[in-house]
Amino acid sequence: PPTFKVLKIYREQFEEYMLPQVAALYSQNISNLELGDLLRMVSWLHNYNLQISSLDVGDPPDDFEEAIDNLMEEYLERAGKQTRDWFANIEKRDSEVLPESDGCLVTRDPEDMLNIVNMQVSVAKEQLPNKLRYKAIKSCIDELSAAQKRLREDVELVWKSTQVENICAVVNDSYRMQDKVENLLDDVDRDEGREEIQELLEAMDSLCTSYVVMAVDATKFAAMSVMEDLKEPILHQVFTPAWEEGTEQFAQITTRTLRDWFSDLSVWLPDYFFSKLVRECFDQTLSAYVETCLGKKVKPFQNSARASQQVINDRFAFAEFFLTDFSAQLAASGMRKPGEVDQSLDVMTHMSKLIMAPAPTDVEPDIKAMLLHFGSVGEKAILHIVGLRGLTKAELDDWKFVVSQDISEVGGECNFEQTKYDLPWWKAQTTAVKEKEADADGEGTGGFASSNPFGSVGG
């Protein structure tokens, strides 16, 4: 005859004997198997099925495929737990922050975590065929992603009590991890179109992106930590009598303090992230200055002309510091347009003019600029600033009228539902807007609440 079908007969007899043996191993005693034994069983079963497919003696047994899935599930769960436990030991320890040869601050955490992952991947490469090896690598990537998420949550919770040096190490470690983890895919054929490879590549892209995002976010936390040293003792003292009288030059103290910090941070961080930190400090310095003016109940100025000039002096101090010494960093962080830094500081110029203006009609361009700048709190901000001059009720009514007219003119350009400032009363302002709009009989100024949130402003 053409064939005696010996292989098919042999296969039937062999599998009749082996199937119960394999089922007994993975269904009853699987927890007693060492990781190495699990991998050897998976490899043997996978290779057997490949041989059956190549010999054209029928389809591989479904029971063996099920055994492979169950054994791999057990292996990945146990290897994952082992990796998590080792990661937990690293996360719990007090990692030493050390400078690299270029001065950037780092810890040994990335190297130690990748040593663990590389060990797991190495074992998988030795024991598993490619298709199943990719699952093991994907599991390691998932554990790295989970560890990165835990790190992010920890930093968000404890940045205020964390030294700036340690936050800088988080920046640098995260960025170094982004470079190092890609080596896990060195042996992967990226041109293959198989589904498991595409999933692996997508998981790696997501992990690398999360490390870069973590580095950028940690840079912001470093800037916020620096600003914590400035806001309460220094920046929150502007618009006080000592500031108005000029006995304390708080803007100059701010820039001197920032200069001291930047001297160290320019060494501790790579240029890319140092530039982002400088930009963040610039934005936060300006925001803190404005929020201090708008967020505090203060008595009217003793001398409006002197207060107006003091704002201009402060603007000059900020401009001289950031534009003279750190313009390159601001440009690298995105402020590349000519005059962009000055335009950001223009809010201080507008504030100065409002403090000095004899009448609101004299400064309508500044009023409109402030409305656009402050968004949902624009009217409140303007009325508060001019209220610091000690206006009479009639004068305040004049300002309210002009501001309401200007709101109508700039309404199409301004988002009156949002503001970038962290003010204690802007949410109440938004509520007041909705209440005004819902009140058909209410008198108003373009839908804005007309009362001053800081009490009487004189008269």
Q: What tens digit of pLDDT does each residue of 116-132 get? A: 999 999 988 888 887 88
Highest mean pLDDT range out of 12-21, 243-252, 326-335, 386-395? 326-335
Q: What tens digit of pLDDT does each residue of 272-316 get? A: 999 999 999 999 999 989 988 887 665 788 899 999 999 999 999
What is the average pLDDT across 68-96?
A: 92
Percentage of the chain with pLDDT > 70? 86
Q: What tens digit of pLDDT does each residue of 232-276 get? A: 778 788 888 889 888 888 999 999 999 999 999 999 999 999 999
Query: pLDDT-based confidence at 340, cuts 50/70/90?
Result: very high
3-state DSSP of the chain: CCCCCHHHHHHHHHHHHHHHHHHHHHHHCHHHCCHHHHHHHHHHHHHHHHHHHHCCCCCCCHHHHHHHHHHHHHHHHHHHHHHHHHHHHHHHCCCCCEECCCCCEECCHHHHHHHHHHHHHHHHHHHCCHHHHHHHHHHHHHHHHHHHHHHHHHHHHHHHHCCHHHHHHHHHHHHHHHHHHHHHHCCCCCCCCCHHHHHHHHHHHHHHHHHHHHHHHHHHHHHHHHHHHHHCCCHHHCCCHHHHHCCCCHHHHHHHHHHHHHHHHHHHCCHHHHHHHHHHHHHHHHHHHHHHHHHCCCCCCCCHHHHHHHHHHHHHHHHHHHHHHCHHHHHHCCCCCCCHHHHHHHHHHHHHHHHHCCCHHHHHHHHHHHHHHHHHHHHHHHHHHHHCCCCCHHHHHHHHHHHHHHHHHHCCCCCCCCCCCCCCCHHHHHHHHHHHHHCCCCCCECCECCCCCCCCCCC
Query: pLDDT-based confidence at 90, cuts 50/70/90?
Result: very high
- Report the pLDDT value the prediction gives residue 4, as an integer from 0 to 100: 57
The yes-or-no verdict on residue 6 having pLDDT over 80 is no
The yes-or-no verdict on residue 442 having pLDDT over 60 is no
The yes-or-no verdict on residue 320 having pLDDT over 90 is yes
The yes-or-no verdict on residue 93 having pLDDT over 70 is yes
Q: What tens digit of pLDDT does each residue of 168-215 get? A: 999 999 999 999 998 888 877 766 657 888 888 999 999 999 999 999
Q: What tens digit of pLDDT does each residue of 395-406 get? A: 999 999 999 999
- Report the pLDDT value the prediction gives residue 63, as an integer from 0 to 100: 80
